[in-house]
Structure 1
Amino acid sequence: MHISEGVLAGPVLVAGWAVAAAGIGIGLKKLDEKQLVTASFLAAAFFVASLIHVPLGPGNVHLVLNGLLAAILGWAAFPAIFVSLLLQAVLFQYGGLTILGVNTATMASAGLVCWLAARPWLAKGGRARAVAAFCMGFGAVGVAAVLTSACLALTGEALVPTAMLLLAAHLPVMLIEGAVTVAVVQFLARVQPELLHLPLSPTAAGRA
């Protein structure tokens, strides 16, 4: 999902940085001190998951976990993803510094939008929660792939075939992310629903 350095046009890079900066600012403002450990853990999970990637033209295919990050962190997914991408760029020259804004914007905003859309159904429990969690994980990667492809297409017509290939290549990843998100959401809903911003179950409330 990362785009490499030197691929995108200047206006696309500027727009990406503008969206990323706004998201990071809001995310830091909304980040609760109690979330710092959770945010650090999820940023590390994102860091590791996206290091295992398959190069594909000017981009690559890998697990993203952006829907899950947004479900737990909300707007704080922006700074968490930004820090992970920054460390990858500095330590492994993966992605790059100039492209950091676009990569952050596409992945974090996609996760946030899908979480906001799925949030009412996540609170319902049962099959509704499972379907919502799958759609959130599946959709977050899909929307990020669409945004990434759009960035490539906006840079020039020569990149349109690569953008379409990148989008198609993420279909298997979307299915995997959907399944992983369901498993994690269902587990957290039983043991720590507050992490998903869900009401406490009677059992969990008794333990609290």
Structure 2
Amino acid sequence: MHISDGVLPVSVAVGGYAVSLGLTVWSARKTRNEDMPKLAVMTAAFFVASLIHVPFGPTSVHLIIPGLTGALLGPSAFLSIGLGLLLQSLLFQFGGLTALGVNALMMGVPAIACGWVFQTFKGQTPSRQALVGGVVGAVGTVLAAIILAGFLMTGGEDFLGVAKIALAAHVPVIIIEGAVSALTVGFLARVKPALLLHPSRQAHG
């Protein structure tokens, strides 16, 4: 799901960097020192999951876990995803540095939204939390795919077909992401429910 260098207009890439920088600063301010271990684990999980690419026509698909990252990290999810993307770009040239801002928006904004949805509707029982976790896991990838298609269409009519293929290619990924998120959240709800609380909720809990 990474957008490569040179695909988008310069104005879009620059605008992506500007918005991403603002969200990264906000995300960093929302992250407490005691949350750094969890952030590091989720950054590593995102890094590894999105390294495994499966070719699909002119594009490729892979797990991106924005919904799960948002459910576990809340506002810190944007920082986590941004760090993972930066490492992938520097170490493996996935996405490229000029597209880093838009890639961060594509995966980070759905993560923030899913984090809010999860905390609002997760309830108290492990079964409910697993269900909501599965829903946000799937929805996070849906949103990311839609944003990807939107960015690709700014590159001109040549990328319209690619945008449609990218949306279709992520249907199986959406199903897998939902299942993985449901299983992960359900497991954590039973063995370590504190990990499902965001900092603001812990402070008032």
TM-score (norm 1): 0.89
Could you tell me which residue of structure 2 aligns to residue 206 of structure 1?
Answer: none
Q: Secondary structure at the match of 2:61?
A: strand
How many residues align structurally? Answer: 200
Are 1:169 and 2:177 matched, yes or no?
A: no
Paired with 2:76 and 2:116, the residues of 1 have a C-alpha distance of: 13
Give the 3 Å change call, closer, same or farther, for CA 93–114 of structure 1 in structure 2: same
Q: Tell me, which stretches of 5 or more residues in structure 1 are unaligned?
A: 201-208
Which digits, 9 at most, give the CA deviation of each residue in 1:94-153, with x for residues without a partner?
Answer: 110000011011101011112212322212425433331111000001100100110001
Q: Secondary structure at the match of 1:52?
A: coil
Could you tell me which residue of structure 1 aligns to residue 26 of structure 2?
Answer: 26
Could you tell me which residue of structure 1 aligns to residue 72 of structure 2?
Answer: 72
Which digits, 9 at most, give the CA deviation of each residue in 1:145-180, with x for residues without a partner?
Answer: 100110001221221111010011001000000000
Q: Tell me, which stretches of 5 or more residues in structure 2 are unaligned?
A: none
* Percent identity of equivalent pairs: 41
Paired with 2:59 and 2:79, the residues of 1 have a C-alpha distance of: 22
Q: Secondary structure at the match of 1:155?
A: coil
Note the C-alpha offset of 1:182: 0.4
Note the C-alpha offset of 1:86: 1.0
Paired with 2:18 and 2:55, the residues of 1 have a C-alpha distance of: 27
Out of 143-152 and 128-137, give the one that drifted further: 128-137
Give the 3 Å change call, closer, same or farther, for CA 59–16 of structure 1 in structure 2: farther
Could you tell me which residue of structure 2 aligns to residue 205 of structure 1?
Answer: none
Could you tell me which residue of structure 2 aligns to residue 204 of structure 1?
Answer: none
Which digits, 9 at most, give the CA deviation of each residue in 1:17-40, with x for residues without a partner?
Answer: 122112111110011111111111
Could you tell me which residue of structure 2 aligns to residue 142 of structure 1?
Answer: 142
Could you tell me which residue of structure 2 aligns to residue 178 of structure 1?
Answer: 178
Could you tell me which residue of structure 2 aligns to residue 52 of structure 1?
Answer: 52
Q: Secondary structure at the match of 1:64?
A: coil
Note the C-alpha offset of 1:42: 0.9
Paired with 2:64 and 2:126, the residues of 1 have a C-alpha distance of: 25
Out of 52-61 and 171-180, give the one that drifted further: 52-61
TM-score (norm 2): 0.91
RMSD: 1.8
